A and B are shown apart, each in its own frame.
Chain A
Amino acid sequence: MSILHLRDVSKHFGGLQALSHFDLSVPQGAIFGLIGPNGSGKTTLFNVITGFMRPSAGQIHFNEAPIHTQPAWRIAQLGLVRTFQKTSVFADLSALENIRVGCFARTRGTPLQSILRLPGERRERRAADDKARRILALLGMAAAESIQARNLPYGHQRHLEIAIALAAEPRLLLLDEPAAGLNAEETSVLMQTVQRIRDQGITVLVVEHDMKLVMGICERIAVINYGQKIAEGPPEEVSRNPDVINVYLGEDLEL
């Protein structure tokens, strides 16, 4: 069963065709990789799926429900949450506060309840704080709780991004180049983290240039070039595909 289904999705900016007739099915519970050269349309695809851009044509279904007309925040509340290519945290907020914002989608307190300070609203907020602490502990960042995100080391900031997304309790998590700028050791920690996330029942769709990561953890990979899907399949199969080698991997890739 597929959790995310794209049918014939196109996106153009004026005369530039960023995505053309793109079909994609992400199976429930998978770690699904999306690779392609720079400028091939990966981030546009992410933006279209998550509601940051409207597709020019085509349909996107998440859990059988159409989402291509929904605003980004609604899609996130449905359980489809993304991270960004460029490190995106709430820089002036503490690590705990960052994750608490992530809890927004799973809490219900209204502004009026806040002003009246109803007991339910207080309880919910304490619960959000507890949840944020649990997530921090899970990532081994408990000591960073009250440190401003801007003062965290880079590796921690990238972890924090994922923590914010996890706090929103996604069913499908979209990671946009999570390993960018990480060293080999940090990357292998990240790979374990992604696998742990999937083991909790969260499907992961990841865009990444780090082939070790993609080939190491993805069960299925789609390759995109000039806005079109040129190959899809298990890593071994894709890495032998002559088209893929030609446009992206190069001849002497060693795995």
Chain B
Amino acid sequence: MNAVLRWKWPLLAALLVLLPHLLQGEYPRHLMILAMVFVMLAQGLNLTMGYVGYLPFGYLIFFAMGAYASALLSVNWGQSFWVGLAGAIGLTGVLAFFIGIPSLRLRGPYFAIVTLAFAEIGGLVLNNWVELTRGPMGIPGIPSPTIALPGMTPYRINGSVSWYYLMLVLAVLVTLVCQRLVQSRTGDAFLAIRENEDLAESVGVPTYRYKLLAFVVSAMIAGVAGSAYAHYVTIVSPDLESFYFVITTFTMVIIGGQGTLSGPIVGAVVFTILPELLRAAQLWRLVIFGVLMVAGIVFMPRGIVGWAEEQWQRLRREGRP
């Protein structure tokens, strides 16, 4: 047991690298790619929701905006994926900054509702600015990324294995950024805001600035996820901020475990795979899914990761004489 614990990181890394070769067939790989997209989305959301304690209901608009920015840059203006990715990060960052300025003056449900309103406006723009976005028809034919380094023949990301690795790298990078942010002075400020905003302010934390920072970084991460997803599925449409994505992402963070780094990862993987496993139940699929969700919230209020930590600590206490 102890040996397993000591080797957990190398083992995990090996598993993640070998995964596409262990999983035969396109569909399981597609699910893992999707899981990586959701890891990014959930990590971004967790930063504002889990660490700062503000619920950005309209979060998925940044996923959609990132996807559209990347799609337009590559399809309309012939730019590469990497330019599209940078554009997605830039656009979502700027949007979040200007949405955050008025929204973050509000607390609790008021903040949640105002971000939802901004997301609705975003959705209307995507649907109705037909000259630019082609409205509900969306933008098809988004090319796959190419990796070109000097002195190397350009490598085209094509097929599920190379896509998996690209998404894995992005998800790891996003997680690393989140980890470093939350395990620092900045993270102290985030947690202080979540726990007691007035007290935080009274010991010198510029709460408004740090809330804005978290919100902008969250949005940029959603932008990364959106950009990568757009190039993977090769088409974007206003469905990107549909109810499906909203519910899935929030469920992943809440049931995975808010305010932890591993929670969003666990949540993303579980809630990408679980609905597929439940397909066997056919008609009852959504019913079982709903029951599991309710049970999860009732019996694991701190999420899967919070629950696992409690069990682990109890085991250790009982194991010690």
Contacts and interface: CB of A to CB of B under 8 A. Distances in A.
Interface of A: 50, 52, 71-74, 76-77, 81-84, 88-93, 97, 100-102, 104-105, 107, 109-111, 113-117, 121, 124-125, 128, 164-165, 167-168
B213 A71 contact: no
A121 B198 contact: no
Contact of A114 (B185, B192, B195): B185
B204 A88 contact: no
A84 B188 CA distance: 20
27 contacts: A50-B202, A52-B198, A52-B201, A73-B205, A73-B206, A74-B206, A76-B204, A90-B192, A90-B199, A90-B200, A92-B195, A97-B188, A97-B191, A101-B188, A104-B205, A105-B203, A105-B205, A107-B185, A109-B184, A111-B186, A114-B181, A114-B184, A114-B187, A115-B180, A115-B181, A167-B203, A168-B203
A216 B70 CA distance: 69
Nearest to B182: A114
Nearest to A149: B195
Contacts of A84: 198-199, 202
Interface in B259-284: none
Contacts, number: 104
> What secondary structure prevails in chain B residues at the interface with A?
helix
A84 B203 CA distance: 11
A91 B201 contact: no
Given A91-B196, A115-B181, A71 B206 contact: yes
A88 B191 contact: no
B189 interface: yes
B204 A105 contact: yes
Contact of B185 (A93, A97, A109): A109
Nearest to A113: B184
B147 interface: no
Interface in B175-222: 177, 180-181, 183-189, 191-192, 194-196, 198-207, 213
Nearest to A117: B180
A102 B185 CA distance: 11
Interface of B: 177, 180-181, 183-189, 191-192, 194-196, 198-207, 213
A146 to B, nearest CB: 11
Contacts of B184: 109, 111, 113-114, 121, 125
B201 A104 contact: no
A110 B213 CA distance: 11
> What secondary structure prevails in chain A residues at the interface with B?
helix
Contacts of B191: 90, 92-93, 97, 101
Nearest to A114: B184
B60 to A, nearest CB: 24
Given A104-B185, A109-B186, A114 B180 contact: yes
A157 to B, nearest CB: 12
A147 to B, nearest CB: 13
A121 B204 CA distance: 18
B97 to A, nearest CB: 14
B204 A111 contact: no
Contacts of B195: 90-93
Contacts of A110: 186
B100 to A, nearest CB: 15
B181 A111 contact: yes
A90 B196 contact: yes
A73 B209 CA distance: 11
A167 B194 CA distance: 20
B136 to A, nearest CB: 38
B207 A73 contact: yes
Contacts of B177: 115
A76 B202 contact: yes
Given A114-B184, A116-B180, 13 more contacts: A71-B206, A73-B204, A77-B204, A81-B202, A88-B196, A92-B195, A93-B191, A97-B191, A101-B192, A104-B192, A105-B203, A111-B213, A114-B181
